[in-house]
Amino acid sequence: MDTASTYLDGNAAAGPLGDFFGFDITTTIGRCAACRGVMLMAQCRVYSAGPGLVLRCASCDNVLIRLVVTGDRAWLDMTGLACLQIDRTESG
Amino acid sequence: MGRLSWQRATVVDIREETATARTLTLEVDGWSGHRPGQHVDVRLTAPDGYTAVRPYSIATPENGSRIDVTVALVEDGEVSSYLFSGSEVGTEMEVRGPLGGWFVWNRDDPVPVQLIGGGVGVAPLMAMLREHDRVAERHPMRLLYSTRGPETLLYAAELARRTQNPVPASAVTVLHTRNPSATAARPAGRLTISDIAAYGLPPSPRTRCYVCGSTGFVEAAIELLLKAGFATDNIRAERFGP
Amino acid sequence: MPRPGTRVFARVIPGRDPVGGSAIVMCNRTHIDLPADLEERVMGTFSAGFTGRHKRGAEGADLPPGQYVTHGFPVLSAGPTPQVPLDAWRLEVAGEQGVVQSWTWDEFRALHAEEVIVDVHCVTRWSKLGTTWTGIPVEALLADVELDGDFVVASSYGGYTTNLPLEDLLDGKAWVAFEYEGEPLDPEHGGPARLLVPHLYFWKSAKWLRGLRLQDDDEPGFWEQLGYHEYGDPWREQRYWGD
């Protein structure tokens, strides 16, 4: 089985993460806490595991973000993400 | 940024594209606008409260409160089968969006653009192409659209019109992977590096590529683009899954 | 768990009757008792004729609350599918002092296996009834191990972990399975071998099993750290923290 075919782009997480943050996180830049690699969140790998969403570093597969959403609660773990850089200017 | 709450959407028009795909025009209450390349999450709710959510690319550029989504029937797909055969004009659902700030083309981006779409992955690229036409953008845009055969060709009438009346600065080449057609650019087969050389834009450092389709298609296309000399930083991909 | 006396007004939107030909306008408000996590959705827009692929309690089956029977076998994954060559595969049991027992693939397959038919229940609400697995009972793997801890952390190739009380792995309640429906277990379903604990939600049945570690404390695993219930009994609908 082709392992590469089980993930989607960070884009696929735009909806659920946007729900949580209140803005589109996919254009933010993140630094992986494991390999220190820097990437656009849109370029990380999204694995959908039912109510849980996992975003992994495209370079080293480290778990950057985990998100679980149910009807009345959501949990977010970002311990794999060292930091996020957000553009505060008005985007077109 | 778009509103991220769920908004009611109503089907106001349907175009049957092929035996396994149709385009729905949705009227969305309070739509805040979108940029070519963005998508929406569509949510269906059954009477017992069961819900299903799937993302769909918007195939049209901004058009008031209307967005087009093209639905391809997926085997055992509970959402696609409902949208394909269970919905009709007047059917209601909910959408969340617009979503995705990276896989977008802005009319103000002064770069040549290469679009490569596989199957229904061509949908967000059509939004970009139609916007490019509408604003009479002069930087070149080329679309390579790979699909099984004429029986799976989406937007067939529109693409035929473009062939009759070519639009300056943009061109579409349809390639078939399986079933030949008299009007296809070359015999049926998978996308190759010669297709990119023959029908795409030259690999200048400024050319930006957008690739969309199944994960397998996207991975193969990206490999070809890199081999052809396009810069990895200039390639944006959207994988639809296996 | 459903809050007793929860009342929700279902806002039903005018829509077309999918069976008949004419439009019906439904404006009546209905009182419905719903589990908390369905409330929000009922307030959403009904899509006339949409029921999803699920069937509730089909064929008189006894289903845990909130579950639907599926005939497919959904693949849900938190990461890339590990590819573990059999000559490198190991299963280890460890205690507080370290690894106490380990098996190579050949050693593992030489153990006495049994075939079991069980129902499995996923927290995402699908249930698959009457699934057939072949595996080694966990108590057989622990037979020569000093059981010096009340809890277990199951760990997988690829980094996934999940936690359970030790007693939920004993007495015919759990296996390390290597075949599904008589065929070698597919990597996308957890092969070469996965944990199988059908009386708990299926996220506890760790795929690509590599180790079981006994310890005194209950240590939340990959999903338990993030909202999933520490125990996960489908019959008490223990999906998330506080359920």
Residue A5 contacts residue B215 (beta carbons within 8 Å): yes
Q: Give bridge partners of residue C8 from the DSSP assignment.
A: C32
Half-sphere CA count of B234, side-chain side, radius 13 A: 19
Domain ranges of chain B: 7-99, 113-239
Alpha carbon distance C128, C196 (integer Å): 13
Where do the DSSP E strands lie in B37-147? Answer: 39-45, 51-57, 66-72, 92-99, 113-118, 141-147
Question: What would the two tokens of residue B240 be?
Answer: 């639809």
Give residue limits of the domains in chain C.
7-50, 90-236
**Neighbour subunits, C (≥3 Cβ pairs < 8 A):** A, B
Smallest Cβ–Cβ distance between A9 and the set B35, B216, B238 belongs to B238
Pairing verdict, β B39-45 and B92-99: antiparallel
Dihedral (Cα; C32, C33, C37, C40), 10-degree rounding: 30
Q: Which pLDDT belongs to residue B166?
A: 86
- Please list every residue in chain A whose beta carbon sits closer than 8 Å to the beta carbon of residue C188: 1, 6
User: How many whole angstroms separate alpha carbon C84 and alpha carbon B177?
Assistant: 34
Q: Both ends of chain C: CA-CA distance in Å?
A: 6
DSSP state of B83: I
Tell me the per-residue pLDDT of C191-221, one tens digit each, with 9 for 90 and over.
999 999 999 999 999 999 999 999 999 999 9
Q: What is the DSSP string of C37-65?
A: HHHHHHTS-B-TT---S-BTTGGG----T
- Would you state the CATH architecture of domain B7-99? Beta Barrel (2.40)
Three-class DSSP category at B32 = coil
C124 contacts on A by Cβ (under 8 Å): 50-51
Q: Are C195 and C203 in contact (CB under 8 A)?
A: no
Q: Tokens for C15?
A: 């829509």
pLDDT digit string, tens, across residues B76-97: 788 899 999 999 999 999 999 8
Range A78-89 average pLDDT: 87
CB–CB of A62/A22 below 8 Å?
Answer: no
- On whether any CB of chain C is under 8 Å from the CB of B108, the answer is no
User: What's the sign of the alpha-carbon dihedral C224, C229, C230, C233?
Assistant: negative
Four-point Cα dihedral B164, B168, B170, B175, nearest 10: 30
**Residue of C40, C47, C126 best to disrupt the B interface, most CBs of B under 10 A:** C47
Identify residue C211 by its one-letter amino acid code.
G
* Class of the domain covering C90-236: alpha beta
| Mean pLDDT for all residues in chain C | 80
pLDDT tens column, C62-86:
899 888 888 778 778 888 899 999 9
Of C187, C179, C230, the residue nearest C207 (C-alpha): C187
Please report which confidence band the pLDDT of residue B65 belongs to, taking 50, 70 and 90 as the band edges. Answer: very high
| Cβ atoms of C208 and C157 closer than 8 Å | yes
pLDDT of residue B125: 98
Q: Which two tokens stand for residue B64?
A: 């008031």
From first to last of the 243 residues of chain C, give the pLDDT tens digit.
Answer: 333 322 222 323 333 333 322 222 222 223 333 333 443 444 567 788 887 765 554 445 689 988 888 877 877 888 889 999 999 999 999 988 888 899 999 999 999 999 999 999 999 888 999 999 999 999 999 998 888 899 999 999 999 999 999 999 999 999 999 999 999 999 999 999 999 999 999 999 999 999 999 999 999 999 999 999 999 999 999 999 988
B113-239: in CATH 3.40.50.80: yes
